[in-house]
């Protein structure tokens, strides 16, 4: 049904549960000191597009799917969710009640030759990077930035420098016009000097993602694992 894993929620609100059962606890949202509130995804909240991670499971008269949101809404505008959710942000939803589908298939994959600008954190959701390029080896050209200074500032959730489609100066972790990558542990590669154009070859959903810590496996799957890198010069 969901060939590439993408789905759209058709109702205003859909309960999100921790297991595929109407008796399972609802996923909860925590914001500061406020009491936790149940998570409900759908058209009302703007979290109306999801990626299927597991399922279906038939239980309690419903067909259940484990999903994570691939969009978020800010000031009434929907944006791709750039970073993969952690396990506590993933839940199970029912796909319908027999008369009406609450989840319907959709496709968010880009078409044509893929360039870096098509899959930066600004352009594509984590679901696109996990679901659209399985088994594909990509070669991308971008600017290798300078790593941030060693001042204790936080880095990206997956270790590694960033590449940009244009010269951005120095590394900015808040800039979503980037694509983080990780080096294939088996390759023993060394990075070229920063501040130059590079061509990288790699793939998403790489088998080595399973070596990441449990809480960041999905983030590793959504990160380009580089198997070759070539300097193109300044």
Between CA 33 and CA 31 the distance in angstroms is 6
Token reading at 72: 């978020």
Return the top range by mean pLDDT from 9-13, 146-150, 178-182: 9-13
> Is the peptide bond preceding residue 4 cis, with omega within 30 degrees of 0?
no
Position 154 scores a pLDDT of: 43
Taking the C-alpha atoms of residue 127 and residue 116, their distance in angstroms, rounded to an integer, is 16
Q: What's the mean pLDDT when you consider all of the chain?
A: 83
Per-residue confidence band for 147, with pLDDT thresholds at 50, 70 and 90: low
Local structure of residue 74 (DSSP, 8 states): E
Strands 179-183 and 224-233: parallel
Which has more confidence, 111 or 57? 57
Query: 153 or 88, which is more confident?
Result: 88
pLDDT in tens, 21-35: 999 999 998 888 888
Q: Residue 167 — pLDDT band, cuts 50, 70, 90?
A: very low
- Overall average pLDDT of the 52-62 stretch: 95
The reported pLDDT for the residue numbered 182 is: 83
Q: What pLDDT sits at residue 181?
A: 84
Give the pLDDT confidence score for residue 185 in this predicted structure: 80
- For residue 40, what are the contacts with CB-CB under 8 A and spacing of at least 6? 13, 14, 15, 16
| Per-domain boundaries in the chain | 6-105, 116-233
Record the pTM: 0.83
What is the average per-residue pLDDT within 77-100?
Answer: 91
* Alpha-carbon torsion angle 49, 159, 29, 2, nearest 10: 20
Closest CA to 232 of 203, 202, 193: 193
Residues 6+ apart with CB under 8 A from 186: 208
Q: What sign has the CA pseudo-torsion 12, 18, 22, 25?
A: negative
Name the percent of the chain in helix, strand, coil, to the closest 5: 10, 35, 55
Give the Cα separation of 82 and 177 in Å (integer): 10
pLDDT for 175 equals 57
Q: Could you give the CA distance from residue 116 to residue 160 in angstroms, rounded to a whole number? A: 16
pLDDT of residue 176: 59
Q: Between these two residues, 107 and 19, which has the higher pLDDT value? A: 19
Residue 42: pLDDT band (50, 70, 90) is very high
Q: What does each C-alpha distance from 59 to 10, 23, 53, 122 come to in angstroms? A: 21, 10, 17, 38
| pLDDT score of 151 | 43
pLDDT > 70: percent of the chain: 85
User: What CATH class has 116-233?
Assistant: mainly beta
């Amino acid at each position: 049904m969901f060939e590439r894993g993408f789905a759209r929620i058709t109702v205003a609100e859909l309960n999100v549960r921790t297991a595929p059962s109407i008796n399972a606890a609802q996923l909860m949202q925590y914001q500061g000191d406020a009491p936790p509130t149940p998570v409900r995804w759908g058209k009302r909240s703007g979290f109306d597009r999801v990626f299927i991670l597991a399922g279906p499971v038939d239980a309690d008269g419903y067909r259940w799917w484990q999903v994570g949101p691939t969009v978020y809404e800010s000031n009434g505008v929907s944006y791709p969710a750039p970073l993969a959710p952690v396990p506590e942000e993933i839940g199970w939803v029912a796909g319908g009640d027999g008369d009406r589908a609450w989840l319907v298939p959709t496709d968010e994959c880009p078409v044509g030759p893929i360039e870096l600008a098509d899959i930066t954190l600004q352009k594509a959701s984590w679901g696109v990077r996990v679901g659209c390029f399985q088994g594909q080896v990509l070669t991308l050209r971008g600017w290798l930035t300078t790593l941030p200074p060693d001042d204790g500032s936080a880095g990206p959730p997956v270790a590694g420098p960033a590449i940009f489609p244009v010269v951005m100066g120095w590394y900015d972790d808040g800039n979503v016009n980037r694509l983080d990558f990780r080096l294939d542990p088996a390759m023993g590669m060394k990075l070229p000097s920063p501040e130059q154009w590079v061509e990288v070859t790699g793939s998403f959903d790489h088998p080595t993602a399973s070596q990441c810590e449990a809480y960041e496996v999905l983030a590793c799957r959504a990160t380009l694992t580089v198997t070759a890198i070539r300097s193109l010069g300044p």
